[in-house]
Amino acid sequence: MNGFDLGRHMAETGQEVERMLERLLPGIRGTESRLFEAMRYACLGGGKRLRPYLVMASSGLFGVGTHHALRVAAAIECVHCYSLVHDDLPAMDDDDFRRGRPTVHKAYDDATAILAGDALLTLAFEIVADPDTHEDPQVRVSLATALAKAAGAAGMVGGQMLDMLAEEEEFDIGAVTRLQRLKTGELFAFSCEAGAILGKSDPSRRNALRGYAHDMGLAFQIADDLLDVTGREEDLGKAVGKDAAAGKATFVSILGEERAREQAHLLADQAIRHLEIFDKRADPLRAVATFVVARRA
């Protein structure tokens, strides 16, 4: 990975994704412009753009055209932003700050936040299904199916249900692992598989990317749990200490800080080993696995 500058690479990709989102999000006009404004507020000008970066990095392994990859990158960011908007609502995590500014329901109102989230989710599927995303309809169907599975009841939404239940029920390490695999891991898996789908790769490469994503996703989540305990609000742009206050079982509450940190590093190493079948074009993905456990935000 000699000389690979992940920070610069992510920042450049983030700008390209921002421009694509600018184009794909509805312009602020018409009587319902409040909705369009809230959608743009939710998506533009913030976040690490990690999922879009994974789409671009996995696409790089298969020689996928930048325009096609960027459209899928924008679609996954729309799904991610919808999930953050809904997660922040009073009926869920009830958060006032996200990405260093008021959450969408604080800047607008609850109903507008619900509608903006709904519209972002559906926009993601509109983007993926558009022929401009890929000329082959079979590829578009595969993308839509994989995205639906990752975002829906068998993926992120199911994981969010488990997350709500974790406030009332005792979750052991196995249950917390499953919760996180669904809640955050499946969107990471989609992001990594997207390049393989766009590039019509063989199943073994797609499976290797799925294995990478799951281990990297868990490492990311353990780091997230650690940041909830040790991080600073000004770095994270959101409240900290919420899991402990809600009495929620997390990797850190079960394993303790030290073992959780060790586990995160083990998972990051394991994630990198899934990439052995790829050449140096997989260096961006290798660097991401290292980054997610070292990050401060």
Q: Which parts of this chain interact with ligand GRG (CB under 6 A)? A: 47-48, 50, 80, 83-84, 86-87, 92, 99, 156-157, 160, 183-184, 224
Backbone φ and ψ of 242, nearest 5°: -75, -35
Pick between residue 183 and residue 274 the one whose CB is nearest to ligand GRG: 183
Pick between residue 156 and residue 194 the one whose CB is nearest to ligand GRG: 156
For the CB of residue 185, give the shortest distance to ligand GRG in the complex, in Å. Answer: 10
For the CB of residue 27, give the shortest distance to ligand GRG in the complex, in Å. Answer: 23
For the CB of residue 131, give the shortest distance to ligand GRG in the complex, in Å. Answer: 28
CB neighbour list of residue 24: distance below 8 Å, 6 or more residues apart: 71, 74, 78, 123, 127
For the CB of residue 139, give the shortest distance to ligand GRG in the complex, in Å. Answer: 26
Q: What is the DSSP letter of 30?
A: S
CB 84 within 8 A of CB 42: yes
Closest by Cα among 212, 155, 159 to 186: 155
For the CB of residue 280, give the shortest distance to ligand GRG in the complex, in Å. Answer: 26
CB 86 within 8 A of CB 117: yes
Tell me the residue number closest to ligand GRG, measured at CB. 47
Q: Compute the C-alpha angle 256/150/131, nearest 5°.
A: 145
Q: What is the DSSP letter of 200?
A: T
Pick between residue 208 and residue 288 the one whose CB is nearest to ligand GRG: 288
**H-run or E-run covering 101:** strand 101-102
Pick between residue 142 and residue 291 the one whose CB is nearest to ligand GRG: 291
Pick between residue 199 and residue 267 the one whose CB is nearest to ligand GRG: 267
CB 275 within 8 A of CB 251: no
